[in-house]
Amino acid sequence: MVEVNQAKLAEFERNRSQLLGITAQKQQMQIQSMTLKQALDELAKTKEKKVYKAVGNILIQSDTAKVKEELEEKRSSVDLRLKTIQKQEDSLINKLNKLKSEIESSQKPVTETQEPKKKVKE
């Protein structure tokens, strides 16, 4: 029984650390999506036919429509990845809640089998 609880606790900790990593990835994807949205908003406002885009360490002049299309594709890809990460996060949260309830329920019989403490009469 003790070994089973230790295994569940170890699995709980593994899942918890995995959840932290996924949450960090999710935050990065959200920031990337917001940044792309801001860039697309600015491109929608401009009347310029050509804009500069960063390619590595240099800026290259490119068609506004082409850059807008590239950014939209990139944003849809990031948003899809964000949905996938959200599903993983939800799944891990459900696993953690299940493990938590299993661990807590396995702890109850141990405390119930112990003799109740006798009250000291004053």
Spatial separation of the C-alpha atoms in residues 54 and 109, rounded to whole Å:
63
Q: Which residue has the tokens 């949260």?
A: 93
Please state the rounded mean pLDDT for residues 85-94: 96
Give the architecture (CATH level 2) of 2-112.
Orthogonal Bundle (1.10)
Distance of CA 12 to the CA centre of its chain: 17
Q: Looking at per-residue confidence, does 108 or 59 come out higher? A: 59
pLDDT in tens, 43-79: 999 999 999 999 999 999 999 999 999 999 999 999 9
pLDDT in tens, 15-35: 999 999 999 999 999 999 999
How many DSSP H helices and E strands does the chain contain? 2, 2
